[in-house]
Each structure stands twice: as structure tokens, then as C-alpha cells.
């Protein structure tokens, strides 16, 4: 892509090494704007970085996001070193801003940060096989384990009430009340779908409130494309997208990964006959995740992991629907009813999960037995 003077000034603000060669936009991800930068080095090798504009609608306090990222990456680096592992290319490394700090403000008040590029790796939007998805499950399980001794109180809440289902429902109702009438009419069936499940889907927040589920340091956005996989070996190298690492339930991390990665279709599939739960992918992810966490999570957490999948699918579907009713202000969209298409797809998937809950529970029970 051609590099304008504004972009050039932003790039010059970071301590990148070498001579800028190219900038390419990475379009995966619904929130931030991400660019892959390549720099020629004096020895004629090429070094790459990721430059990101932090979405100011989603993240009101980017400096707090970066404080969290700094703390969490330092902790992960140390945890790996203690286990005798090399953290190079396995933990995000923040590139400093020239003159100090790790957050750069542009002329319009926008916030930018940069990371070393995770090399020889790819992020995928769909799993190729249950084994590959299992590798992603292990990555999120290990992530959970390495942060088990992180002091939760030091983390900022980067998006308040991010997975508070009840507050999400209240926001949804407020959006229904002030929605454009044509959009509300178009989404009538989906609005009813949400309303029919309101109480049942608050089960996780209720259990947290009752002290039945503990709060842990969780990733909270565990899509398969937030794990970088080694291009040659398929090994999970690095968990990325740490902007929502906050206090949460392990059920959220398990559930959101299943929602996105164990679907037979992409997140915005229009042909709903293609959308279902892929039970083999579910088992693959569950096996990786439970193998890592069986001894760290409580029995109640483990037994309720499938509930996490249902609740996260409901919640994200409701958030897409809310954004559709709001006029598409939050998630990046490619066409006018994109958020409605995404919501319908989530609700089809949720219906299938409801039908197959027994199978999910049985698999999880079997894996708990195997790994505890
Ligand atoms: P978003 O919040 O928009 O999802 P992400 O931080 O997940 O933003 O970045 C979007 C995509 O950019 C990722 O899915 C991944 O493909 C790529 N990416 C992000 N960080 C890195 C990195 N450090 N190295 C290599 N690729 C990256
Ligand atoms: C967003 O940033 P990204 O694309 O990984 C969103 C998640 C949703 C997801 C749905 C900060 O994730 O909460 O589950 O889209 N992230 C934020 O695909 O809102
Ligand atoms: Mg992402």
C-alpha cells in the first residue's frame, strides 16, 4: 500500500530498526487496524513488525490497555523462562516509542502501538483439523496456567463489564428501544430469539456472583485467529490480541474459542443450512484445553465448560445484533447487514449447541476423567 505522510510520521515515531520497505494492511480482526511493516536491515535481511491503531470506540483508555499488555507479557516471559522455555517469538514484545513510552498519539488523538512480528507463523480463521484446534486449546490452556499466579488487582478493566451478560442484555434492550424502525423490523425474529433466552444465559454471571465460579486472569477473546501457529510444524507459538486480558471466567475462554472455531462455517455465513456445531472440532479443542487445565480449574468450572460455549455464542450474537440496531458503530463491517448476518449465524450455531448439549457434556466429562 502507498504510505501517506501521516502514516510515515507515525512509523517514524517508533524504534523500528532498518529502512522501511513496505506496509501492508492485515484485515483479520474486527476491532483494531493492523499493518504489517517490513524493514530492510544493513545485512540485507528483512525484519517485520506489526503496527496497530487501537480502536478508540472499543477502548476508551488505550494507556490502560498498554499497561495491561506490558504487565501480562512480562509475566508470560518470566513464566516461560522459569520453565526453561525461550520466550522469543512466543510472547508479544512491545516496540518502544522514540523518546519514551509504548503508546503513540497521532495528530487526531488516535493511539498507536507496535509489536515485533511473530515470524514464520500464520493465524487462521478456521481450524484445519481437530488436532490443529487441539493445539489452539493447549495454547489457551497454557496461557491460563501461566497467568494463574498473576495478581488480578493489577489489571485495568479495559472494557467495563465486557462479559457481563446481564449488562449486555440491558444494552441490547436500550438499542432495541431506539433502533431505526426498518432495522428493528428486519431483526424481529432475532430480537425474540434473544429475549427467549435471557435468564438462562445469565447462568455464568449468577454463578460468579454466588461464589460458585472463581474469577481468574482470562484472555476473553479466544478466537482461533488470536493464536499464531508455526507455518512448518503447526505448533501454537504465541497468543496475541491481549487487549481484553482481564478478570473473567475460564468458561469465557473455553466458550469463545468453541463458538468461533468449532463451527462448521465462518462467523458471517449467510447460508444458515451450513452452520452447525462440529463435534469433532469441539472434542479437539476440549482435549487440548482440558489436558492443560484439568488440574488447575475447579470441578465446577470444568463441568460447566460447555455452558461457556452456549453463553459466549449467545452473547456475541447479541452484541452483533445490538451493533446492527445501533447502526454499525462497533464491529468493522463490510456491507450493510453484515452484523445481522453475523448475529443470525451465531443464533443458528447456538440452537445447534442447545440440541447437542448432552454430547458436549459427555465429551467434557470423559476428558476430565482422562486428565485429572
Ligand atoms: P483485532 O483486535 O482487530 O482482532 P489483532 O491484534 O488480533 O487485532 O490483530 C489482527 C491480526 O493481525 C491477527 O489475527 C494476526 O493475523 C495479525 N497479527 C497481530 N499481531 C501480530 C504479530 N505480533 N505478529 C504477526 N501477526 C500479528
Ligand atoms: C472482536 O478483536 P477481535 O476481532 O479478535 C471482539 C470480540 C468478539 C469478536 C467476534 C475487543 O474480536 O469480543 O468476540 O470480535 N473484540 C472486542 O468475532 O470487542
Ligand atoms: Mg484479534
- List the chain domain ranges: 5-119, 130-371
Q: What is the pLDDT of residue 1?
A: 75
Rounded CA separation 17/174 (Å): 49
User: Quick one: average pLDDT of 282-291?
Assistant: 98
* Atom of ligand 1 at shortest range from CA of 32: 3
Cβ neighbours of residue 174 closer than 8 Å, sequence gap 6 or more: none
**pLDDT, tens only, 127-148:** 999 999 999 999 999 999 999 9
**pLDDT, tens only, 349-362:** 999 999 999 999 99
Q: What is the pTM of this model?
A: 0.97
Q: Is 10 helix (H, G, I), strand (E, B) or coil?
A: helix
Q: Which CATH architecture has domain 130-371?
A: Alpha-Beta Complex (3.90)
Distance 29 CA to ligand 3 centre (A): 5
Distance 226 CA to ligand 3 centre (A): 5
**pLDDT, tens only, 307-365:** 999 999 999 999 999 999 999 999 999 999 999 999 999 999 999 999 999 999 999 99
Q: Cell 514484545, residue?
A: 93
CATH class of 5-119: alpha beta
Rounded CA separation 197/346 (Å): 14
* % of the chain surpassing 90 pLDDT: 98
Residue with CA closest to ligand 1 atom 17: 26
Rounded CA separation 279/292 (Å): 20
Pocket of ligand 1 (CB under 6 A): 26, 28-32, 34, 50, 92, 115, 117-118, 123, 225-226, 228, 240-241
Pocket of ligand 2 (CB under 6 A): 29-31, 58, 221, 223, 226, 241, 243-244, 256, 267, 316
Helices 279-293, 250-261: crossing angle, 10 deg rounding: 150
- Residue 153 — very low, low, confident or very high, per pLDDT cuts 50/70/90? very high
Q: What is the pLDDT of residue 4?
A: 87
Amino acid at each position: 500500500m502507498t504510505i501517506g505522510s501521516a502514516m510515515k510520521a507515525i512509523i517514524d515515531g517508533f524504534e523500528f530498526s532498518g529502512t522501511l520497505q513496505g506496509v501492508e494492511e492485515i484485515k483479520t480482526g474486527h476491532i483494531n487496524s493492523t499493518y504489517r511493516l517490513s524493514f530492510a536491515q544493513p545485512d540485507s535481511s528483512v525484519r517485520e513488525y506489526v503496527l496497530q491503531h487501537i480502536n478508540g470506540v472499543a477502548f476508551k483508555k488505550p494507556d490502560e490497555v498498554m499497561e495491561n499488555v506490558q504487565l501480562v507479557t512480562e509475566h508470560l516471559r518470566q513464566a516461560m523462562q522459569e520453565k526453561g522455555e525461550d520466550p522469543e517469538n512466543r510472547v508479544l514484545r512491545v516496540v518502544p516509542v522514540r523518546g519514551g513510552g509504548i503508546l503513540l498519539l497521532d495528530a487526531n488523538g488516535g493511539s498507536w502501538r507496535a509489536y515485533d512480528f511473530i515470524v514464520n507463523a500464520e493465524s487462521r480463521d478456521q481450524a484445519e483439523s481437530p488436532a490443529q484446534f487441539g493445539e489452539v486449546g493447549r495454547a489457551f490452556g497454557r496461557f491460563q496456567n501461566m497467568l494463574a499466579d498473576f495478581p488480578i488487582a493489577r489489571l485495568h478493566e479495559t472494557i467495563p463489564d465486557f462479559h457481563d451478560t446481564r449488562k449486555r442484555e440491558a444494552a441490547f434492550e436500550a438499542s432495541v428501544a431506539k433502533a431505526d424502525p426498518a432495522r428493528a423490523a428486519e431483526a424481529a425474529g432475532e430480537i425474540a430469539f434473544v429475549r427467549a433466552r435471557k435468564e438462562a444465559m445469565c447462568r455464568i454471571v449468577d454463578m460468579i456472583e454466588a461464589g460458585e465460579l472463581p474469577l481468574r486472569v482470562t484472555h476473553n477473546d479466544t478466537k482461533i485467529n488470536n493464536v499464531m501457529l508455526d507455518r512448518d510444524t503447526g505448533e501454537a507459538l504465541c497468543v496475541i490480541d491481549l487487549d481484553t486480558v482481564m478478570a473473567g471466567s475460564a468458561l469465557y475462554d473455553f466458550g469463545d474459542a468453541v463458538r468461533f472455531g468449532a463451527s462448521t462455517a465462518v462467523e458471517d455465513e449467510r447460508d444458515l443450512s451450513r452452520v452447525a456445531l462440529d463435534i469433532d472440532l469441539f472434542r479437539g479443542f476440549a482435549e487440548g484445553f482440558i489436558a492443560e487445565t484439568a488440574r488447575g480449574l475447579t470441578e465446577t468450572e470444568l463441568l460447566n465448560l460447555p455452558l461457556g460455549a452456549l453463553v459466549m455464542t449467545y452473547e456475541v450474537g447479541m452484541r452483533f445484533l445490538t451493533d446492527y440496531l445501533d447502526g454499525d458503530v462497533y464491529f468493522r463491517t463490510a456491507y450493510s447487514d453484515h452484523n445481522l448476518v453475523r448475529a443470525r449465524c451465531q443464533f443458528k450455531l447456538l440452537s445447534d449447541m442447545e440440541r447437542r448439549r448432552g454430547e458436549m457434556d459427555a465429551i467434557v466429562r470423559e476428558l476430565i476423567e482422562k486428565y485429572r
